[in-house]
Chain A
Amino acid sequence: MPDLLLELFSEEIPARMQRRAAEDLQKLVTDALVERGFVYEGAKAYATPRRLALNVVGLPVKGQDVREEKKGPRVGAPDAAVQGFLKSAGLSSIDQATIVSDPKKGEFYVALIERPGRATQDVLAEILPAIIRSFPWPKSMRSGASSVEPGALRWVRPLTSILCTFGPETEEPEIVRFSIDELASGDITQGHRFMAPGPIKVRRFDDYAPSLQRARVILDADLRKDIILHDARDLAFAQGLELVEDEGLLEEVAGLVEWPVVLMGTFDDSFLAIPPEVIRTTIRANQKCFVLRDASTGALANRFLLTSNLVASDGGATIVGGNERVVRARLSDAKFFWETDQKVRLEDRLEKLKSIVFHEKLGTQYERVERIAALARELAPLTGADPDLALRAARLAKADLVTEMVGEFPELQGLMGRYYATLQGEQPSVAAAIEEHYKPVGPSDTVPTDPVAVAVALADKIDILTGFWAIDEKPTGSKDPYALRRAALGVIRLILDNGLKINLRQVVDGHLARFAANRSETENAFLVENLLSFIEDRLTVLLKDQGARHELLGAILGRYSLAAGSQLIVIPERVDVLGRFLESDEGKNLLAGYRRAVNILRIEEKKDGRSYVEAPDADLVREHGQPEEKVLSEILETTARHSREHVMRGDFAGAMLALSELRPAVDAFFETVTVNADDNRIRQNRLRLLSAIRETMHNVADFSCIPG
């Protein structure tokens, strides 16, 4: 069975796009083949900085033959109809059609059309240009003289040649001929830009990959990664050091070379006075180099590993020398920033935050810090932090944004604040809070536990949420430019992981007042409730991911909404307790009784056009009621009281237990008492009893959310 080899050779493809591009190429080509009925045995795509390649093995030589009967007009139909039929069936004379007789329709013509399957090669020549022209690069460009033409090819960088062969392994494969603008497909590729320039004739994948390897190109990115990783580890080991592994960097570096050569460079010891994170960030971001650490102490070593794309004639000495120069210059800059930054105390930087606009409608970073500080101070007693420390940490939390170091490396925000705070003698918890107040950044990030950090982290997130709600810039659909979903999830995790008893309604109500605006009380309330329900949505997503059932969440949030002042911390526990209760026999039966009561009520209330929420007439029950009715009436009163007390005390399990006291009475009532009594007074009173069951249960959880 024949194989297809396709190579799209171009100028350097951005490293971050290569893997995805190879996957896209494979999917687009194989999908297009399958769609046309061409099955294949296997396919694999590859990417290097200069090429995308695809190998599809086990394709048929041609597609399936198709036999088709085409029904024509009846015998004796007008000539126009006959001519039309001949044309559409591809016949030259009506004699070529057969006549078929049908008892209902009489005699009519039928043409037997036989279409031989098309040669795979021809189909490929049709499919591939279309795929290349519409390739889903994240960013693409036009180039060269042909760029004036409308519909000129857009590629990630200029596409310089196309190799495309097809054929069985026993024979000489053929070129699949097609062109893109002035570029015609062929069977030529090129080796390494510097070490093996020049054309290489290729037949199929079996000689393509080895030819490239001889021409100093390793086609498979994973293989390049392996080589880099192992060479890096070996070089480190030989010096008694350990590679600081970095998967993201490894992936990127493997996309920057066709022939990886790992080399070790050195920098001056004195740079080790700079925080290790800074050294690593500098060397990684600017130089795409790995750093190393002492295997025993874990301390950063004054070495780095670069991955060059060249087996240099001097063994790499020049390359190492050049990289060392750049690393030295970068580290000198970093050292300069590190030393200059220490000359100004963090609190003296706050003034500068006045010139940084946080958001045009939300004012400057300075104003934001003032709000966060006030809020953190308020939250401190709830997180168990010293209010003065929380205030101090919040004040200083953003000061590092105006340091030289963070200006250069924004990803070091927080961390630098912590270093500078420690150096200027701040309390350890204040320094730690400066770093940790951004956390948790994502769902897998750790959550701060130090009370000061927790207070500032919460204040930071509540401020951002309240602020953007105040100016009506909420996330919509997939658009969440200010990462407000992440902030809401942060609030939730900070509260849950630290067991904080916080009434978010109160906190947000209070914080909203810090955003000046002309809003009525009603508008404010609406805004706060909308934000709290957004937080509830995030909580729902989180708890569902952890296995909580949707209806239980609804039942609990329906009763204990954040807007109503419920504490967020109680919600997961109550969902849990409710779930367990409803799985017990008590729970199941009570729920059945509840449903029966609710169903009857719904029907009767609709029929009567009124509700029966008022309390049942106890005297009437005593005088005329059946014994089961009396028992229910009495027990309802105590259960309502007990469950309410438990709820008030926050003892949700107790409230559940109280409810379960209802169960035998409810069961007995439905077994013996007919609600729709002839005497309407008694009927209505019984409906009020049912309503009391509903109210008593709703006071504990919104059981109407639990489906039958």
Chain B
Amino acid sequence: MTREPAHMNPARSFQGLILTLQRFWAEQGCVILQPYDMEMGAGTFHPATTLRALGPNPWRAAYAQPSRRPKDGRYGENPNRLQHYYQFQVILKPNPPDIQDLYVKSLEAIGIDTALHDIRFVEDDWESPTLGAWGLGWECWCDGMEVSQFTYFQQVAGFECAPVAGELTYGLERLAMYLQGVESIYDLNFNGLDGDRKVTYGQIFKQAEQEFSRHNFEYADTDMLFRHFRDAEAACRKYLADGEPEAGANDNRHLMALPAYDQAIKASHVFNLLDARGVISVTERQSYILRVRELAKACGAAWLRTEGGGLASA
């Protein structure tokens, strides 16, 4: 390790952990992105993963993404569960042959000594029904604790990934709790400082967890949300249609894949909120998931007809 100031040490600072991972993956040639500016259930929804996984263009990116799981709210009372938490996401396309070694090195970079800790790769295949995506991989264990998800994307938005991308997702809070040796997320040292200058995770987020749990389970305006879902769905379809080239044009390029995909992200999050409010029955649930998947698929198809999706290089 370089001579970082103590408060940047990933074993005592939450932000130090994020910064260390960013630096590590930057050194592997990743672009370090900032979080996507929309509410989403997981880092995978970020267009830098979902859309960039499609098409032939090579791509390496890493970023922290706030993730919202409205149903996981516990009013700030459960030491292990949050409705808003951070994922650190890495995508390497195509996956390099040494991606597993790189992952292990990233653990070493954050202070996990592989001579002391038991690192394991335990089968865990990944599937996202809303994204029409699946891959094979593992949950990565450190001393019996799941600290990351590791997936080789095979399909996204219903399309084969060619080439395959490797995706790593670190559960930052859980990893930090282990590194810092605390039993509650809220006790995490966020800035790595001591005494008066120390800021904990709880100081920043506990109030938000309480308020948003109330919102997610009790007060979120369901009529409005149902409307938002329909609106997002309609907007997505509209932008997909609007982005089509004019009839007769000799360029087949799609012009609005990204704005359309934003609406798919929105629909997905609104659905999660409605689900948390308990207003979606089991049978309806399936049909909502399907509706979001249809949007994601259509956006994926549009993306493949853009420059980012490889049209120019195809």
Contact = CB atoms under 8 A, between A and B. Distances in A.
Contacts of A318: 116-117, 143
Interface in B81-124: 94-97, 100, 104, 114-123
A158 B138 CA distance: 12
Contacts of B104: 193
Given A325-B145, A326-B145, A148 B118 contact: no
Contact of B136 (A147, A157, A287, A322): A157
A313 B119 CA distance: 14
Interface string B130-166: 0000011110001111000000101000000111101
Interface string B266-283: 000000000000000111
B142 A322 contact: yes
Contacts of B122: 12, 15, 256, 288
A309 B118 contact: yes
A615 B96 CA distance: 90
A11 B100 contact: yes
Contacts of A49: 121
Interface string A429-443: 000000000000000
Contact of A312 (B96, B118, B178): B118
A194 B113 CA distance: 10
A329 B145 CA distance: 10
Interface residues of B, number: 39
Contact of B281 (A11, A143, A157, A355): A355
B94 A319 contact: no
A322 B117 contact: yes
Interface string B212-237: 00000000000000000000000000
Contacts of A143: 94-95, 152, 164, 166
Contacts of B114: 194
Contacts of B164: 141-144, 147
Contacts of A357: 281-283
A230 interface: no
A319 B125 CA distance: 25
B300 interface: no
B56 interface: yes
Q: Chain A: interface residue count, which band?
A: 35 or more
A356 B123 CA distance: 30
A160 interface: yes
Contacts of B252: none
Contact of A139 (B97, B118, B136, B178): B136
A145 B94 contact: yes
Nearest to B137: A157
A329 B80 contact: yes
A329 B136 CA distance: 27
B123 A313 contact: no
Contacts of B163: 144-148
B123 A306 contact: no
A544 interface: no
Contacts of A545: none
Contacts of B145: 322-323, 325-326
A14 interface: yes
A322 B143 contact: yes
B123 A15 contact: yes
A306 B283 CA distance: 41
Nearest to B117: A318
Interface string A404-448: 000000000000000000000000000000000000000000000
Nearest to A155: B136
A310 interface: yes
A551 to B, nearest CB: 49
A678 interface: no
Interface string A81-119: 000000000000000000000000000000000000000
B95 A144 contact: yes
A356 B118 contact: no
B120 A158 contact: no
A218 B120 CA distance: 16
User: Which residue, B114, B123, B125, B152, has most C-beta atoms of chain A within 10 A?
Assistant: B123
Contacts of A314: 116
Contacts of B100: 11
Contacts of B120: 12, 256-257, 309
B255 to A, nearest CB: 26
Contacts of B56: 148
A121 interface: no
Interface in A470-522: none
A308 interface: yes
Interface string A299-316: 000000010111011100
Contacts of B121: 11-12, 49
A319 B161 contact: no
A602 interface: no
B286 to A, nearest CB: 9
Given A194-B114, A356-B282, A158 B97 contact: yes
B281 A16 contact: no
Contact of A326 (B123, B136, B144, B282): B144
A148 to B, nearest CB: 5
Interface of B: 56, 80, 94-97, 100, 104, 114-123, 125, 135-138, 142-145, 152, 154, 161-164, 166, 178, 183, 281-283
27 contacts: A12-B120, A12-B121, A14-B123, A16-B123, A141-B136, A142-B154, A143-B95, A143-B166, A144-B95, A144-B97, A144-B164, A147-B164, A148-B56, A288-B122, A306-B144, A309-B120, A310-B115, A310-B118, A312-B117, A313-B115, A314-B116, A318-B143, A323-B143, A323-B144, A325-B145, A355-B282, A357-B282
Given A148-B163, A312-B117, A357-B281, 14 more contacts: A12-B120, A141-B164, A145-B163, A148-B56, A193-B104, A194-B114, A256-B120, A309-B118, A314-B116, A318-B143, A319-B116, A319-B118, A319-B144, A322-B178
Interface of A: 11-12, 14-16, 49, 139-148, 156-158, 160, 193-194, 256-257, 287-289, 306, 308-310, 312-314, 318-319, 321-323, 325-327, 329, 333, 355-357, 360
By Cβ-Cβ distance, the 10 closest A-B pairs, closest first, are: A322-B143, A14-B123, A12-B121, A323-B144, A308-B118, A147-B164, A145-B94, A357-B282, A141-B136, A148-B162
